Amino acid sequence: MHEKPGKRILFVNEASASIGMGHILRSLTLARVMFSRGYSVSGIAIGDGKAVAYATERARREQVSYPILTMTDPETAVAYISIDQPSLVVVDCAKAGYEIVRACAQLGIPVLALDYFVSNLPLPDAVVNLIDHSPATLLGQQPFREGMIYREGPQYAIIRKEFLEARIRRTLRAERASVEKILIAFGGADPSGNTKRALEMIAQWPGAFVVDMIIGPLFKVDAASEGKTLSGKCVVRTHVSPDNIGQLFEDTDLVFCGGGGTLLEALCVGIPSIVIAQNPEELRHAASLAEQGACWLSNEVRWELVSHAKNRQACAISAKACVDGQGAARICDVIEQQLQ
């Protein structure tokens, strides 16, 4: 690693039980890559201190110097940025993105924004979207993006290291003849309570399964109580913020997840996935991937479809073709272009 003195990158996120932890975990992955390239990285998160503590501990385990501060609101974040004066800000926020972008423009700090759908000026210097949800695009129009770098597509999916490792190992095995193991994973918070919906779907299927439920650090669901939905039918195992999450994905036959980051990680590993979206944006994103045969939507999938190994194998092949695991490196290349 060759240090690049004077080049400091600040990642700005939101993280809470209502928003989830996808934003802060994506930034952690980008921070790790930029740190390995010799840059100084730090973060601020608007929202939940528990989410920040979880991300900070992960960074410590990965030996990445990535201090993260918890902020109470966007105004506090803006005040911090005006004092800190980083070389570049990476914005990954569900709600406060425009406020951060506008403040950075006034301060003369370049910005790269992830999943940014605001057309109001000022625009970020660069935007990377998985899919474009901007109002103009939804109306069939061309959004105004003059003068900025724009990248879009699942090839920019940010995948954590453990899932990249699981992708390699999963390639060495074929799909089981029948569904034996099912994984339920709705990110760090499951704000829409979709774990319960997944259990209810499984309860309607014939046969018995081993069901693994991943419970994130911001979950409010009573996992033990929800698991009773399958009492007497399946073996239900609960995993609270597991360290072996990549292995859990690798060894399952089917995943229930939302339409955001967890879905993309499942696709990268090559796991047939059923999506229960938590909002219209997730549904639109998942539908675009389902059209490519990379996943299934919960309101369209039937047991007769997922029970056949050939259908799951075809889904897994399409999934890995959509998400190759190089998204973080591609985004970091754009970050470096902005720094230079």
Q: Residue 15 and residue 64: Cα distance in Å, rounded? A: 20
| All residues at 6 or more sequence positions from 291 whose CB lies less than 8 Å from its CB, including other chains | none
Task: Flag whether the pTM goes above 0.95.
Answer: no
The CATH classification number of 8-158+326-339 equals 3.40.50.11190
CB atoms near residue 299 (< 10 Å): 9
The Cα 227–Cα 202 span in angstroms is: 11
Euclidean distance between CA atoms 260 and 250, whole angstroms: 19
Query: 294 — alpha (psi -120 to 50), left (phi > 0) or beta?
Result: alpha
- Domain segments of the chain as ranges: 8-158+326-339, 161-322
- Placement of tokens 């975990």 in the chain: 25
Say which residue the tokens 């239900």 belong to.
Answer: 236
CA 106/CA 54 separation, integer angstroms: 32
Spatial CB neighbours of 35, under 8 Å, sequence gap ≥ 6: 1, 41, 64, 65, 66
Residue 261: phi and psi, rounded to 5, are -65, -40
* C-alpha to C-alpha distance for 20 and 220, rounded to whole angstroms: 12
Of all helices (H) and strands (E), which one includes residue 170? Answer: helix 161-170
The rounded distance, in Å, linking the Cα atoms of 169 and 294 is 19
Answer whether 24's CB lies under 8 Å from 158's CB: no
Specify the residue for token string 């910005």: 111
Tell me what pLDDT residue 230 has. Answer: 77
CA dist., res. 276 & res. 299, Å (int)? 8
Q: What is the pLDDT of residues 14-49, one digit of tens each?
A: 988 778 888 999 999 999 999 999 999 999 999 988
Where does residue 237 rank: exposed (0-12), middle (13-18), buried (19+ CB within 10 A)? middle
The beta-strand segments (E) located in the chain are 8-15, 40-47, 68-71, 88-92, 111-114, 126-129, 149-152, 181-185, 210-215, 235-240, 254-257, 273-275, 296-297
CA–CA dist 227, 144 (Å, integer): 48
Which structure tokens are listed for 173?
A: 């095995």
Total length of the chain: 340
In the chain the first and final C-alpha atoms are separated, in Å, by 18
CA 260-15-222 angle, 5° bins: 80
Superfamily in which the 161-322 domain is placed by CATH: Glycogen Phosphorylase B; (3.40.50.2000)
Rounded Cα distance between 132 and 153, Å, is 9
* Alpha helix segments (H runs only) across 204-293: 223-227, 245-250, 261-269, 280-290
Extract the residue ranges of the chain whose pLDDT is less than 50.
none
Bridge partners, residue 143, by sequence? none
